[in-house]
Amino acid sequence: MAWYPGATRMELQPESDTQPAIRPTQFIIHSIAAPWTARRMYEYWRDSTSLDSHFGLGYAGDLGQFIGTETRADANYQANRRPDGTGAVSIETASNLQHTDPWSEAQVEQLIRLGVWLHERHGIPLRICRSASDPGYGYHRLHAAWSTGGTACPGDARVRQFRELVFPEIVRRATGQPAEEPAPAPTPAPSEEDFMDFTSLATTKPMTIQAGSWREIYWDVENQDGADDHGAGESSFLSGNHYTGTVSLKFAEDAPVGVSVRMVQEYTGGTSGEPTDDVPVGKRNHAVSVTGRVPVGRTLMCVVTNDSPEPVTVAWAGLRLLTWPL
């Protein structure tokens, strides 16, 4: 078993001793649809149901651990424990009865700290889970196989916080990147009044990446650029904005092992990269979900890296983003 030193140990028995072992490869975040403390969640698991989670988090940041992270907990349906012995670490978080409210600042901070520890302790990779079994970080409704009949958990407001604040900050702290500014407060749901824009770019010129090298994508087709940050035919396309959307790639041939895609921020004196997304072997078409924020004074570009022993050609690339100001 593994017990997180930042949580209060409230061990569920007999589950903690009798449920099978897992090798943790995912962290899945839930809302419990009740304004409970960690202690109340423990009592509910203990007295009222056969279900359970590894952790429980109250509004005030009170964090309890009920089962060791190398033991199965039953909150994630098919992700609880797979036939190969891998499984997900789960946390239930206090919310209103409809789980429509955002996490409190104290909850956000605890989620970030726990996320960093899970990466350091269990090697969970710093990426959002691309499929139901893909190692990484996620939230309950991200993949259908994580619930028995579909769910909206943890709610729209918290999904935005996860993508815009919690997960990026886990990555920043886990990789030791310096903070550019104090961690922002939870971002409210953007609306038309928040001046949301749409950016749609593409490239029609094939691009070959030699073995052991990388290249940024130069966008020569500008379908729409609401943020007005893209120069014709340039690789950089955004500054001073939040963004969320998709990068799509079409390869000339099946992708070999070792090809990856990442968003990179360029600034005076250097660059900094977002988490890498590996292209599955044998794929010709690949779409990458991207979310983040680009400070003023930096610009964003998309980079394809080829660590395979042979050249790789991107025949076409497309970019579709919703953006809104910092």
CATH code where residue 122 lies: 3.40.80.10
What is the pLDDT at residue 293? 87
- Give φ, ψ of 141 to 5 degrees: -85, 0
152 and 262 share one domain:
no
167 and 199 share one domain:
no
Task: Write the DSSP string, 249-271.
Answer: EEESSPPPTTEEEEEEEEETTEE
Residue by residue, what is the 3-state secondary structure of 134-172?
CCEEEEHHHCHHHCCCCCCCCCHHHHHHHHHHHHHHHHH
What is the pLDDT at residue 274? 67
What is the pLDDT at residue 117? 96
What is the pLDDT at residue 166? 95
Domain containing 15: what range? 8-174
Helix (H, G, I), strand (E, B) or coil at 241: strand
Asked if residue 279 is part of any domain, the answer here is yes
The closest of 113, 125, 136, 141 to 55, measured between CA atoms, is: 113
Residue numbers of the chain with a pLDDT score lower than 50:
180-185, 187, 189-194
Asked if residue 3 is part of any domain, the answer here is no
CA distance 235 to 230: 8
65 and 167 share one domain:
yes
27 and 69 share one domain:
yes
Asked if residue 185 is part of any domain, the answer here is no
Walk across the sheet containing 86-93 and list its strands. Answer: 8-9, 63-65, 55-57, 86-93, 23-31, 136-139
89 and 154 share one domain:
yes
Total number of domains constituting the chain? 2
CA distance 131 to 26: 11
Asked if residue 84 is part of any domain, the answer here is yes
145 and 266 share one domain:
no
Helix (H, G, I), strand (E, B) or coil at 184: coil
Asked if residue 245 is part of any domain, the answer here is yes
160 and 197 share one domain:
no
228 and 310 share one domain:
yes
What is the pLDDT at residue 232? 65
Asked if residue 2 is part of any domain, the answer here is no
User: What DSSP character marks residue 21?
Assistant: B
233 and 160 share one domain:
no
What is the pLDDT at residue 297? 84
169 and 265 share one domain:
no
20 and 165 share one domain:
yes
What is the pLDDT at residue 270? 67
- Residues 161-201 pLDDT 10s: 999 999 999 999 998 875 544 444 454 544 444 456 778 88
272 near 266, Cβ under 8 Å? no
As given in the structure block, the two tokens for residue 319 are 């970019």
What is the pLDDT at residue 194? 44
What is the pLDDT at residue 229? 60
What is the pLDDT at residue 271? 67
Q: Which of 174, 202, 230 is the last residue of a domain?
A: 174
Residue 150 burial (10 A CB sphere; 0-12, 13-18, 19+): exposed
What is the pLDDT at residue 183? 46
Residue in the block written with tokens 């500054």: 239
Q: Which CATH number fits the domain that encloses residue 219? A: 2.60.120.1120
Asked if residue 183 is part of any domain, the answer here is no
Parallel, antiparallel or unpaired: strands 259-267 and 277-278 = antiparallel
19 and 99 share one domain:
yes
Asked if residue 187 is part of any domain, the answer here is no
User: What does pTM read for this prediction?
Assistant: 0.56
CA distance 158 to 100: 8
